[in-house]
């Protein structure tokens, strides 16, 4: 296994661990508001030009567009969240697994990539004993940074 493949395999394992660890006991609209506000506070502190979105199923519970973000960020969020809803894993994990396999999104899924984005930034909201119930997403930074912002805030939020 080459260094690049080994690094990618380690990244996939790291993201899988994050998804196993970052699980809610319950998830309410109040939780969505508090989580969204925590993400906004982090983005403002970092001066990150991002859009933030939280959904339960098809319902958008929270959305914020910070200075420097634009409508393209909203479109990316829609595509990333659609992928999380369909596959139940983070958009970054899905994309890194594809990279590890050497296949494109179209080859692996036969789905339209204009409707789905396997790029970092959308993370499943998983409830213990239930499974994925929604998504939290950030768009506006490089995909690894979008993903990391969500993971960092979820880690703090879930204690």
User: pLDDT grade, residue 21 (50/70/90)?
Assistant: very high
Tell me: pLDDT of 1 over 80. no
* pLDDT (tens digit per residue) in 87-115: 999 999 999 999 999 999 999 999 999 99
Q: What is the mean pLDDT of the chain?
A: 97
All residues at 6 or more sequence positions from 131 whose CB lies less than 8 Å from its CB, including other chains: 88
Tell me: pLDDT of 3 over 90. no
Q: Is the dihedral of CA 103, 9, 151, 43 positive or negative?
A: negative
Residue spans of the domains in the chain: they are 3-158
Q: Please give the model's pTM, rounded to 2 decimal places.
A: 0.95
Q: Is the dihedral of CA 72, 47, 126, 22 positive or negative?
A: positive
* pLDDT (tens digit per residue) in 109-141: 999 999 999 999 999 999 999 999 999 999 999
Q: Across the strands, what pairs with 52?
A: 64, 138
Rounded distance, CA 159 to CA 64, Å?
A: 23
Rounded distance, CA 156 to CA 22, Å?
A: 10
81 in Cβ contact with 137 (< 8 Å): yes
Residue carrying the six token digits 């990150």: 48
pLDDT at 20: 98
Rounded distance, CA 112 to CA 130, Å?
A: 29
What number does CATH give the domain 3-158? Answer: 3.30.450.150
131 in Cβ contact with 124 (< 8 Å): no
């Amino acid at each position: 296994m080459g260094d690049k493949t080994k690094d990618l395999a380690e990244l996939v394992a790291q993201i899988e661990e994050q998804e196993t660890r970052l699980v809610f006991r319950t998830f309410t609209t109040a939780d969505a508001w508090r989580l969204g506000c925590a993400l906004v506070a982090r983005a403002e502190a970092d001066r990150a030009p991002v859009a933030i979105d939280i959904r339960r199923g098809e319902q958008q519970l929270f959305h914020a567009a910070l200075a420097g973000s634009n409508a393209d960020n909203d479109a990316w969020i829609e595509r990333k969240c659609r992928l999380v809803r369909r596959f139940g894993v983070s958009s970054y994990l899905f994309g890194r697994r594809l990279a590890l396999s050497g296949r494109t999104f179209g080859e692996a899924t036969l789905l339209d990539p204009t409707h789905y984005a396997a790029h970092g930034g959308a993370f499943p909201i998983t409830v213990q004993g239930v499974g994925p119930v929604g998504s939290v997403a950030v768009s506006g930074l490089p995909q690894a940074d979008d993903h990391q912002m969500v993971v960092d805030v979820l880690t703090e939020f879930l204690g």
